[in-house]
């Protein structure tokens, strides 16, 4: 499974992650929470193999993340990243070419749910439509780990529930899902675990159900407790 | 690798189409000039075709460098590095695409030049005069298929080495600056420094010459000189391919 060991990432003028050790369990839905600049994206990008750690390790099934782990880890960034010359159909073709676990049928189903058509050009998509396309392309994979970085950014209120249903329904029982979001109340309804990051440190990991039952606290309340 | 190559070709297809269309337009002008004996059309056609052959190849190389720069300095890099491909494969596909484009483009333009010369000769009914005219235009260079092949080989391998050095410069810039301002300028300065460095090293080798010197020397010296220079440039390409792959694999965060 996915594990970071004393992971540190420095940029020129900032320490994005500072000695973060986290071990994710299989089959759980993690809410990765923290204010802007807390290291959520850096942690996810390191897990996806996009960012090289300054020190420490990011392991997948005991081996450092790399080419092989990319076959099983699906990452969806906050920013749009498809080539601008592509159409929606081209994106599906690209994912089909590079990812053995990508299902074109599932992709088309998700496109239909998101009200997107294959002839649409990437450069002409609104930010909301681009966000939906990212979700469709990512969730059409049968990955073992999904890392979704603020998947509901730019999505209108009505579409959010439908999209989260599509995300949860795409995920099989033994799959690990990590979602970072500022919409704490919205992801509380389906997250099983929560990881709190602040200033590049992993502050706490808790079980959402335990938090509710034993401490009588919501995730949003816990978030405020930790961050304030 | 084949999928990476497929998308590398797709990324530059607009520019390639533009070069192809321009070539067709100038070829039509040349043919019209031949048919109508209009020197202006003939001259415009020949000049235009020469520009398409030289500038066209140059522009295609610059566009592929620009594509790599944009990819490594924006989120489009995710499209490359989220796939289960090594950095060596990713940059290898780009170099291979450049090489294939250069080779196919070169062969097509040489073939087109041959056909046009033939047509011109047929129209003039006087091949030797046509060849003499061209020789006079190009000075004392003797047109010999072996010479042409040798020069083209050196040009091909030399240009490919320059493209690869440019890729190396872009990769270093991306690893150090990570999308910050003046990245393009920084890349260009690194590129210049490396090219000058390589030129100095080459000048100190036996028969050492810079890029232009090697092209000229290969025209006048035996075949083996041209082959040696080609191998040298291919070696430079291989070296900077390996260095670029290493930087992208170990040092680049996107």
pLDDT in tens, B230-249: 888 999 999 999 999 999 99
Residues of chain B with C-beta less than 8 angstroms from the C-beta of A97: 3, 6
Query: Could B86 and A82 be called an inter-chain contact, meaning their C-beta atoms sit closer than 8 Å?
Result: no
pLDDT for the residue numbered A155: 80
Predicted ipTM of the assembly? 0.89
Query: Could B250 and A80 be called an inter-chain contact, meaning their C-beta atoms sit closer than 8 Å?
Result: no
pLDDT higher than 80, residue B143 = no
Query: Could B250 and A52 be called an inter-chain contact, meaning their C-beta atoms sit closer than 8 Å?
Result: yes
Residue B13: what are its φ and ψ, rounded to 5°?
-70, -30
Residues of chain B with C-beta less than 8 angstroms from the C-beta of A94: 7, 79
Query: Could A48 and B7 be called an inter-chain contact, meaning their C-beta atoms sit closer than 8 Å?
Result: no
Query: Could A49 and B75 be called an inter-chain contact, meaning their C-beta atoms sit closer than 8 Å?
Result: no
Minimal CA separation from A221 to chain B, in Å: 34
CA B158/CA B163 separation, integer angstroms: 9
pTM (whole model) above 0.95: no
For B213-242, letters b (16+ CB in 10 Å) and e give: ebbebbbeeeeebbebbbebbbebbeebbe
CB atoms under 10 Å from CB of B40, counted, come to: 10
pLDDT for the residue numbered A136: 93
Residue A197: what are its φ and ψ, rounded to 5°?
-115, 140
Count of residues making up chain B: 254
Q: Which residue has the higher pLDDT, A201 or B223?
A: A201
- pLDDT tens digits along A175-209: 999 999 888 887 888 889 999 999 899 888 999 88
**What is the chain B residue with the closest CA to A69?**
B84
Residue A28: what are its φ and ψ, rounded to 5°?
-105, 155
pLDDT higher than 70, residue B172 = yes
- pLDDT tens digits along B42-88: 889 999 999 999 999 899 999 999 999 999 999 999 999 999 999 99
Query: Could A49 and B82 be called an inter-chain contact, meaning their C-beta atoms sit closer than 8 Å?
Result: yes
Query: Could B79 and A81 be called an inter-chain contact, meaning their C-beta atoms sit closer than 8 Å?
Result: yes
**What is the chain A residue with the closest CA to B89?**
A67
Q: What confidence tier does B204 reach under pLDDT thresholds 50, 70, 90?
A: confident
Give chain A's residues under pLDDT 70. none
Q: What confidence tier does B173 reach under pLDDT thresholds 50, 70, 90?
A: very high
Percent of chain B exceeding pLDDT 70 equals: 85
pLDDT higher than 70, residue B117 = yes
pLDDT for the residue numbered B218: 54
Specify whether the CB–CB gap between A134 and A77 falls below 8 A.
yes
Among B1, B82, B249, the strongest candidate for a mutation testing the A interface, having the largest count of A CBs within 10 A, is B82
Q: How are beta strands A193-198 and A29-33 bridged, if at all?
A: parallel
**What is the chain A residue with the closest CA to B70?**
A83
H-run or E-run covering A203? strand A201-207
> What are the structure tokens assigned to A18, written together?
């500072």
H-run or E-run covering A57? strand A55-60
pLDDT higher than 60, residue B208 = no
Q: Indicate the burial class of A74 (C-beta count within 10 angstroms; 0-12, 13-18, 19 or more).
A: buried
Q: Which residue has the higher pLDDT, B214 or B193?
A: B193
Q: What confidence tier does B142 reach under pLDDT thresholds 50, 70, 90?
A: low
């Amino acid at each position: 499974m996915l594990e970071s060991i004393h992971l540190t990432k420095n940029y020129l003028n900032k320490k994005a992650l500072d000695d973060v050790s986290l071990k994710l369990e299989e089959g759980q839905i993690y809410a990765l929470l923290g204010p802007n600049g807390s290291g959520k994206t850096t942690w996810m990008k390191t897990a996806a193999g996009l960012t090289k750690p300054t020190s420490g390790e990011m392991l997948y099934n005991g081996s450092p993340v790399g080419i092989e782990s990319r076959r099983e880890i699906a990452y969806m960034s906050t920013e749009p990243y498809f080539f601008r010359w592509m159409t929606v159909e081209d994106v599906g073709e690209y994912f089909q070419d590079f990812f053995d676990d990508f299902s074109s049928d599932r992709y088309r189903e998700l496109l239909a749910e998101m009200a997107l058509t294959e002839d649409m050009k990437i450069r002409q998509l609104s930010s909301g439509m681009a966000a939906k396309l990212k979700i469709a392309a990512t969730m059409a994979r049968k990955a073992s780990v999904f890392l979704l970085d603020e998947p509901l950014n730019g999505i209108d209120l009505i579409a959010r529930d439908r999209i989260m249903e599509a995300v949860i329904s795409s995920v099989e029982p033994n799959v690990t899902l990590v979602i970072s979001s500022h919409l704490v109340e919205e992801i509380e309804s389906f997250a099983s675990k929560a990881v709190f990051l602040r200033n590049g440190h992993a502050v706490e990991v808790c079980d959402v159900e335990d938090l509710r039952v034993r401490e009588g606290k919501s995730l949003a309340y816990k978030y405020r407790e930790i961050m304030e | 690798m084949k999928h990476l190559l497929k998308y590398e070709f797709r990324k530059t297809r607009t520019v390639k189409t533009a070069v192809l269309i321009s070539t067709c337009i100038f070829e039509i002008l040349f043919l019209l000039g031949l048919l109508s004996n209009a020197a202006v059309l003939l001259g415009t056609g020949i000049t235009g075709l020469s520009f398409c052959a030289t500038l066209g190849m140059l522009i295609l190389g610059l566009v592929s460098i620009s594509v790599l720069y944009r990819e490594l300095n924006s989120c489009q890099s995710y499209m490359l590095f989220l796939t289960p491909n090594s950095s060596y494969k990713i940059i290898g596909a780009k170099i291979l695409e450049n090489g294939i484009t250069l080779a196919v483009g070169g062969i097509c333009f040489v073939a087109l030049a041959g056909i046009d010369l033939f047509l011109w000769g047929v129209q003039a009914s006087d091949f030797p005069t046509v060849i003499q005219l061209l020789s006079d235009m190009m000075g004392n260079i003797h047109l010999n298929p072996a010479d042409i092949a040798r020069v083209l080989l050196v040009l091909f391998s030399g240009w490919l080495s320059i493209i690869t050095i440019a890729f190396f410069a872009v990769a270093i810039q991306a690893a150090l600056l990570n999308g910050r301002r003046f990245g393009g300028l920084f890349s260009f300065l690194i590129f210049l420094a490396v090219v000058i460095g390589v030129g100095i090293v080459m000048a100190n080798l036996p028969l050492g010459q810079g890029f232009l010197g090697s092209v000229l020397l290969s025209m006048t010296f035996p075949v083996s000189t041209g082959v040696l220079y080609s191998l040298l440039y291919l070696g430079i390409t291989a070296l900077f391919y390996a260095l670029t792959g290493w930087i992208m694999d170990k040092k680049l965060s996107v």
